[in-house]
Amino acid sequence: MLKGTNIHKSFGDLEVLKGIDLEVAPSEVVVLVGVSGSGKSTLLRCFNFLERINEGTIEIDGHLVNPKNDKLSKIRAEVGMVFQHFNLFPHMTVLENVIEAPMIVKKMKKADAITLAKQLLEKVGLSDKADVYPSKLSGGQKQRVAIARSLAMEPKVLLFDEPTSALDPELVGEVLAVMQQLAQEGMTMIVVTHEMKFARNVANRIIMLDEGRIIESADPETFFGNPSHERTRQFIQLVD
């Protein structure tokens, strides 16, 4: 589904990713963990081509992506991304936020986009907010709109970059519940999060990054119960 090979990414003299190999299978949920600065978010942004890698390759569904020749808007439609800070258009209603990209990027007819958007808003529990502007929503509601907006592009894989870290604690659960539902429905997902309960219950695999390298990759039971790396054990003691 999604495969990165020998991914290197630097910002000036700072090498953030140092040869990452990661392959995600269809319907797999992979959770990326690690301390701040370990490269988790940068890796997601590389998979979505918001950042260009300095070395290595990225494949999507067997297609080797060439950023110079491939249309990146089409690639980003296949690899959706949900950000920490929602990024909704404040001057548009919830419905308008969801239909915008399918109409512009995929040239979907407005009536079809509205039908799809209403289905997705129902999925994320926001059918009654279609005509509301983002300023009237809670943080959790904004994030669920952002998820619906990403789903409207019918992506092959969804990337989540700390989707609950900007939320008040009482709003985290409603967003995680939607993500858990997507996982149960077979959505391929890569999630950067500090929510260890979510990682335990939903992930097929948990990957630990440290200083730009993968140092641990295991199923949740092994990751939390018998990690192979001392750095992973230290991390678990801090966050679990």
Per-residue pLDDT, 240 = 66
Instruction: Tell which residue, 4, 84, 1, has the closest CA to residue 46.
Output: 4
pLDDT band of 211, cuts 50, 70, 90: very high
Per-residue pLDDT, 86 = 83
CA 193 → CA 38, 49, 54, 84, 119, distances in Å? 13, 20, 25, 10, 27
Residues contacting 231, CB < 8 A, separation 6+: 208, 210, 215, 216
| Tokens linked to 20 | 């990452």
Share of residues in the chain with pLDDT > 90 (%): 78
Mean pLDDT value across the chain: 92
Report domain extents, the chain.
2-239
Per-residue pLDDT, 23 = 96
What is the rounded CA–CA span in Å between residue 214 and residue 23? 12
| Tokens linked to 229 | 């790396």
Q: What is the pLDDT of residues 20-61, one digit of tens each?
A: 999 999 999 999 999 888 999 999 999 998 999 999 999 998
CA 60 to chain CA centroid, Å, is: 15
Give the helix/strand (H/E) hosting 216.
strand 213-218
Per-residue pLDDT, 125 = 94
Other Cβ atoms less than 10 A from the Cβ of 231: the count is 16
> Position 213: which residue type?
R
Instruction: Tell which residue, 179, 187, 182, has the closest CA to residue 163.
Output: 179
The answer on pLDDT for 113 being more than 80 is: yes
Class of domain 2-239: alpha beta
The answer on pLDDT for 187 being more than 90 is: yes
Give the mean pLDDT of 109-138: 96
The answer on pLDDT for 74 being more than 90 is: no
Q: What is the pLDDT of residues 79-97, one digit of tens each?
A: 999 988 888 999 999 999 9
Look at the pTM and tell me if it is higher than 0.85: yes
Per-residue pLDDT, 84 = 85
CA-CA-CA-CA torsion sign (11, 14, 19, 22):
negative
The answer to which of 47-51, 72-76, 117-121, 188-192 has the lowest mean pLDDT is 72-76
Per-residue pLDDT, 72 = 77
What is the rounded CA–CA span in Å between residue 194 and residue 25? 22
What is the rounded CA–CA span in Å between residue 3 and residue 63? 10
- Any idea which residue has 């370990």 for tokens? 38
